[in-house]
């Protein structure tokens, strides 16, 4: 039996291990942490359960198909519900808006709360849906470093419609042309942050990200997003994947343009195929004598995050599962993050509360708040000073907008910052999504899913094509699956 080694057990690595096992490989996964999932893990403290990382779940069929591929019933492992509200939006001037999953209700809400033109929203949602259908098969489901990816009808159709992709205008300018109300522009600008990018420099094609949330829908897994990790890990165990935790790769050996082995605990372990699910910058540090692909490794890094996990001894009826408290100066917020490598004094605050729908995630009458603000990746800022500073700023903004004294309700607290993100996940500089998409051709500059130097080395996860985020990382595993031959081929 041929052997495959997967380095790292983030969602891309978990999916790759399952796919390789289904191809007939003997699969071993090596993970430096004591748990699987990478960023997609959990924190438990004082009776509260928090999803530690990604919280927005879209395109659930990408998880379901892994179980189906293995001949299992997805519902035996993993269950989820579609949310009827994708997000609740709050502004400093007192404006509140509920983003309903139903398009007609969303348009009615926008017309009522913002006195805005609902037809603009309806037209935009139809436009991004069409653009998604054009771009997704070409830029997300296929490797961009293979000629075969461009010799098909989907690519021809995309090329014919290339002007519709808005590659040479920023997402912000694209949205300005489509919405007359500034709050609508801000609502749709924010989707650039879903892969750690700047809406004022990221290309207009990034508008397709909003299709996942506003047209396809937002879902909540039973038990929170951490249950995705748990279910895929269990599936791997059930079909015979071997997991090795607390096993940090010391180095990777090569010979004759092939990876031959990895060294763990001073022991050399050989395999036929190697799949990396660690940040590509960290990966190349391990490979002996490898030439680093400087063009892809030097791309601007995505944003990071400063996260507070608060156990709140109160229930807030005006909040939902996903909540956004917008900055009044969005341009300044992203200017600080990407140009000044700092956090703006008035950051946008995201609050995720899974206990709204999932009983047992918090004690009765309480809520599990995941509070995140966008932050620059780590360039040796004084995080010891920034963390308490922005803890006060976040509390003050929440108090103003929700008309509450939140301090009296905080029972437990944990903190995640760019340094701890880098330490836990090996993400270079603590960037959450690897490379940012802050240029019109950034997608073509991402590190590919296969190595030019080593014919048996492949890459999955947020730091490589097609990018960060749960569904995109799952697609990277799918791309690699199509690249690797079946065991009997």
**CA–CA distance, 264 with 249 (Å, rounded to integer):** 5
Q: For the chain, give every residue range classified as CATH 3.50.50.60.
A: 1-34+245-300+438-489
Confidence at residue 488, expressed as pLDDT on a 0 to 100 scale = 65
Concatenate the DSSP letters of all residues of 247-311 into one string: --EEEEEEETTEEEEEEETTEEEE-SEEEE-S-HHHHHHHBTTPPP-HHHHTSPBPPEEEEEEEE
Confidence at residue 274, expressed as pLDDT on a 0 to 100 scale = 98
Confidence at residue 147, expressed as pLDDT on a 0 to 100 scale = 63
Least confident of 15-29, 296-310, 389-403: 296-310
Confidence at residue 281, expressed as pLDDT on a 0 to 100 scale = 92
**CA–CA distance, 157 with 150 (Å, rounded to integer):** 11
Confidence at residue 150, expressed as pLDDT on a 0 to 100 scale = 66
Tell me which DSSP letter residue 372 carries.
E
The helix or strand, by DSSP H or E, that contains position 90, with its residue range, turns out to be: strand 85-90
The predicted-structure confidence for 334-347, as pLDDT tens digits, reads as follows 999 999 999 999 99
**pTM score, whole prediction:** 0.95
Give the model's confidence band at 489: pLDDT under 50 very low, under 70 low, under 90 confident, else very high.
Answer: low
The predicted-structure confidence for 94-145, as pLDDT tens digits, reads as follows 999 999 999 999 999 999 999 999 999 999 999 999 999 988 888 888 887 7
Confidence at residue 12, expressed as pLDDT on a 0 to 100 scale = 98
Concatenate the DSSP letters of all residues of 401-425 into one string: HHTS-GGGGEEEEEEE-HHHHHHHH
Taking the CA of residue 73 as centre, how many other CA atoms within 13 Å lie in the half-sphere pointing to its CB? 2
Tell me which DSSP letter residue 212 carries.
I
The predicted-structure confidence for 162-171, as pLDDT tens digits, reads as follows 777 788 899 9
- Which architecture does CATH list for 1-34+245-300+438-489? 3-Layer(bba) Sandwich (3.50)
Q: How many CB atoms lie within 10 A of CB 194?
A: 19
Taking the CA of residue 124 as centre, how many other CA atoms within 13 Å lie in the half-sphere pointing to its CB? 29
* CATH, domain range 39-101+303-432: 3.90.660.20
Least confident of 68-77, 324-333, 440-449: 440-449
Give the model's confidence band at 152: pLDDT under 50 very low, under 70 low, under 90 confident, else very high.
Answer: confident
Query: How far is residue 59 CA from its own chain's centroid?
Result: 13
Tell me which DSSP letter residue 148 carries.
G
Cβ(341)–Cβ(376) below 8 Å? yes
User: What percentage of the chain reaches a pLDDT higher than 70?
Assistant: 98
Confidence at residue 294, expressed as pLDDT on a 0 to 100 scale = 81
Mean pLDDT score, 224-247? 97
**CA–CA distance, 464 with 441 (Å, rounded to integer):** 15
Q: How many CB atoms lie within 10 A of CB 217?
A: 16
Residue 149, pLDDT above cutoff 70: no
């Amino acid at each position: 039996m041929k052997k495959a080694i997967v380095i790292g057990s983030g969602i891309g690595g978990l999916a790759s291990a399952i796919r390789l096992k289904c191809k007939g490989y003997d699969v071993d996964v090596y993970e430096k942490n004591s748990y699987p999932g990478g960023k997609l893990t959990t924190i438990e403290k004082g009776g509260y359960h928090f999803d530690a990382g990604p919280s927005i779940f879209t395109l659930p069929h990408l998880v379901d198909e892994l179980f189906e591929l293995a001949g299992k019933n997805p519902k035996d492992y993993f269950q989820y519900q579609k949310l009827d509200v994708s997000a609740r939006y709050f502004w400093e001037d007192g404006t509140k808006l509920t983003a309903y999953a139903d398009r007609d209700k969303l348009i009615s809400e926008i017309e009522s709360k913002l006195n805005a033109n609902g037809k603009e929203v309806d037209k935009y949602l139809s436009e991004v849906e069409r653009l998604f259908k054009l771009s997704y098969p070409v830029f997300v489901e296929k490797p961009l470093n293979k000629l075969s990816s461009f010799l098909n009808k989907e690519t021809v159709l995309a090329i014919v419609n290339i002007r519709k992709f808005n590659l040479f205008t920023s997402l912000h300018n694209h949205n300005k042309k489509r919405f007359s109300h500034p709050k609508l522009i801000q609502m749709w600008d924010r989707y650039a942050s879903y892969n750690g990018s700047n809406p004022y420099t990221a290309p207009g094609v990034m508008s397709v990200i909003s299709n996942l949330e506003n047209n396809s829908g937002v879902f909540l897994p039973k038990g929170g997003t951490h249950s995705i990790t748990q279910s895929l890990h269990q599936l791997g165990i059930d079909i015979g994947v071997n997991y090795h935790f607390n096993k940090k790769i010391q180095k990777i050996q090569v010979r004759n343009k092939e990876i031959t082995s990895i060294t763990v605990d001073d022991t050399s372990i050989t395999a036929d195929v190697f799949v990396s699910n660690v940040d590509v910058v960290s990966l190349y540090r391990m490979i002996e004598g490898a030439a680093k692909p400087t063009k892809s490794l030097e791309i601007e890094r995505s944003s990071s995050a400063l996260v507070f996990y608060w156990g709140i001894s109160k229930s807030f009826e005006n909040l939902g599962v996903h909540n956004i408290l917008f900055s009044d100066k969005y341009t300044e917020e992203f200017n600080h993050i990407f140009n000044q490598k700092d956090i703006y004094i008035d950051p946008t605050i995201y609050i995720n509360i899974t206990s709204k729908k999932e009983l047992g995630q918090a004690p009765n009458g309480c809520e599990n708040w995941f509070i995140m603000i966008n932050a620059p990746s780590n360039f040796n800022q004084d995080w010891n000073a920034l963390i308490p500073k922005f803890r006060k700023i976040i509390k003050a903004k929440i108090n103003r907008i929700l008309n509450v004294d939140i301090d009296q309700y905080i029972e437990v607290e944990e903190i995640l910052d760019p340094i701890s993100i880098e330490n836990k996940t090996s993400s270079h500089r603590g960037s959450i999504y690897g490379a940012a998409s802050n240029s019109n051709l950034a997608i073509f500059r991402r590190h590919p899913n296969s190595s030019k130097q080593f014919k048996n080395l492949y890459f999955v996860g947020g730091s490589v094509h097609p990018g960060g985020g749960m569904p995109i990382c799952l697609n990277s595993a799918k791309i690699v699956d199509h690249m690797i031959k079946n065991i009997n081929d």
